[in-house]
Each structure stands twice: as C-alpha cells, then as structure tokens.
Amino acid sequence: MHTDRTSTTRFSVPVDAALRAAGWQPGRWDIKQAEIWADTLRDHTSPNGHRHTVSPAAVEAWAEFGGLHITPT
C-alpha cells in the first residue's frame, strides 16, 4: 500500500498535532540521513555477535520520522 507522504489527512488530528509539534510536516523526507542510520545499524555487531538487517520500510520511516522527539501526554 502506497501512502501519500504529502497528504494533510493521513493522521488523526491529535497525532497530526503531536507530529507537527515535534517538527514533522507533510513531505518531510531526509533519505540521506535515513540511509546513514541504516548503514550504522547494519554495521553494528552486538556483544553476542548478532547483526541486524534493515528493511526498506524502516528506512522510509526513518526518512520521514527520524529525529523527531515526541513526549507522550
């Protein structure tokens, strides 16, 4: 399912307000930073030797929402 990242009606009013208060806006997309975060996670090995894979959906979520700081109410 393709989601229109520029739609102003994607989220309920309270969710939209919380995202905007955190700095999000429709069309926000920092794929360069998202790829840096994904590469960092892929390159990390846990103390037990585990490695991570990163899905394209995770990279897209980071591109749109990465770096936002939301305080639950």
Question: Alpha-carbon distance 64 to 28, whole Å?
Answer: 5
- What pLDDT is recorded for position 4? 72
Digit-coded pLDDT (tens) for 48-71: 999 999 999 999 999 999 999 998
Residue 18: burial class (beta carbons within 10 Å; 0-12, 13-18, 19+): middle
Maximum distance among all Cα pairs of the chain, rounded to whole angstroms:
44
Of all residues in the chain, the percent with pLDDT exceeding 90 is 82
